[in-house]
Amino acid sequence: MIFPKFLKEGDKIGVTALSNGCSKDVDIKRFDNGKKKLESKGYPVIFTDNVFKADDKGRSSHGKTRAKELELLIKDERVKAIISAKGGDYLCEMLEYTDFEAIKNNPKWIQGFSDNTGVLFPLTTKYDIATIYGNNFGDFGMEPWQECVESSLDMLCGKKQRQDSFDYHESEFHDHISGLEGYFPDEKVYWKNARGEEKIEVKGRIIGGCLDVLLNLVGTKYEDALGFCERYKNDGIIWYLESFALGSEALMMGLWQLRIIGWFKYAKAIVFGRPMFYESFSETSYEEAVMTRLADLDIPIILDADIGHKGPQFSIVNGAMATIGSTGGKGYLIQEFY
C-alpha cells in the first residue's frame, strides 16, 4: 500500500470540484473562511477555477475539465494534498478523462466523501494508493472548527491514529444561513452491534465508501475490489459502507449484488455509517435490510457508526490497517499506515 507523504507546515493544499462546485454567496463565504483558517495554521490553499462554479444540473464543469483541473494539482509540485470541494451526483463523468497513471506516479493525499468515492475507491483498489474518506472542503469553513475538522487536518499531517465516537450527531440535513455554521448535533450517537455482542474488536485492512456510488462502479474498469481483497486477504478486510439515499429495497438488492460478486469473501467485519435519507415501502428498517442480506456471513456487523453524511464523521484512510471496536454504544477506530 502506497501512503502519500503527510503534510508539513508550509505545504500547499489544492481544492478542486471533482463533482459539484459552489456559486452561492453563503458557500463562497464558507470556502473563503476555510482558506483563511488553514492558512492561519500554516497551510496555504489553492482553488482551481471550477471550485466556484455550479450549473443548475449539479456539476461544477464538464467531466473533462474536472479531470484536467485534478491533473494540474497532481502535477503541481507545490501541492501536497488535495481536498474535494463538495459531493454531488456526477463525478463518474470525469473518470474516462482522468489520468490515473499520473496520480500513480505522483501520489498525493486526496480527500473527500460521498460522490468523491468515485475517485477514491479506484485509486485504492486498482492502484494501491491510500486515500481519505473524510471532510469535503466546506467543513473547513465552519467557525469555530469542531473536533471532527481538527481531526481531519491532523490525519492529513500524520498526527492522528485514533478516533473515538462522538457524543451527538446531526439527525437531518441543514442549510447554511451564515455560511459559518458547524454541525447541528441533536441526536445521541449509539453504535449498535447488530448481533447483540457485548464487545466487538477486530483488525484488518479498511476499504469502503458511499454505497450509492460503489454500486454504480461495480463491474466497471474503475474498480478492482476483488483484486484488492485478494492482495490483502492475509490482513483480512474491514468494509465500511454508508448510504445517502438508498431505500430498503435498493439497499437489500445492492448488498445481495456485492455479496454474490464476492466483495465480502475475506471480510472480518462490515461497519455501516448513519444513512442520510432512508425510506421503505415494505416497512423494513435499515437494520433489517442489512441483516436480511448479511446475517449469515458470521462476522461482526456494526451499525450507526460515525461515518458519512450525518456529521460529525471519522476520517477513514482507505487502505490503512485498522482496528475498530464497539462496546456499549461507543466506538473507536485506530489506523496504522503500513
Buried b (16+ CB within 10 A) or exposed e, 259-276: beeebbebbbbbbbbbbb
Q: What pLDDT is stored for residue 55 in this prediction?
A: 85
Where exactly are the structural domains of the chain? Answer: 12-160, 168-336
Cell numbers found for residue 130: 491510500
- Average pLDDT value for residue range 330-337: 98
147-181 confidence digits (pLDDT tens)? 999 999 999 999 999 999 999 999 998 889 999 99
Residue 113 corresponds to which amino acid? Answer: F
Domain 168-336 in this protein, CATH class? alpha beta
Mean pLDDT of the chain: 97
Q: What pLDDT is stored for residue 173 in this prediction?
A: 87
Three-state SS string across the chain, please? CECCCCCCCCCEEEEECCCCCCCCHHHHHHHHHHHHHHHHCCCCEEECHHHHCCCCCCCCCCHHHHHHHHHHHHHCCCEEEEEECCCCCCHHHHHHHCCHHHHHHCCCEEEECHHHHHHHHHHHHHHCECEEECCCHHHHHCCCCCHHHHHHHHHHCCCCCEEECCCEECCCCCCCCCCCCCCCCCEECCCEECCCCCEEEEEEEEEEEEHHHHHHHCCCCCCCHHHHHHHCCCCCEEEEEECCCCCHHHHHHHHHHHHHHCCCCCEEEEEEECCCCCCCCCCCCHHHHHHHHHHHHCCCEEEEECCCCCCCCCCEEECCEEEEEEECCEEEEEEECC
76-125 confidence digits (pLDDT tens)? 999 999 999 999 999 999 999 999 999 999 999 999 999 999 999 999 99
Residue 180 corresponds to which amino acid? Answer: L
This prediction has a pTM of: 0.97
Q: What span, in angstroms and rounded, lies between the C-alpha atoms of 113 and 119?
A: 10
Whether pLDDT at 37 is above 80: yes
- Average pLDDT value for residue range 31-36: 98
CATH code: domain 12-160 is: 3.40.50.10740
Q: What pLDDT is stored for residue 144 in this prediction?
A: 97
Torsion of CA 95, 84, 312, 272, to 10 degrees: 10
Q: What pLDDT is stored for residue 56 in this prediction?
A: 77
Choose among 216, 214, 213: nearest CA to 228. 214
pLDDT above 70 covers a percentage of the chain that reads 100
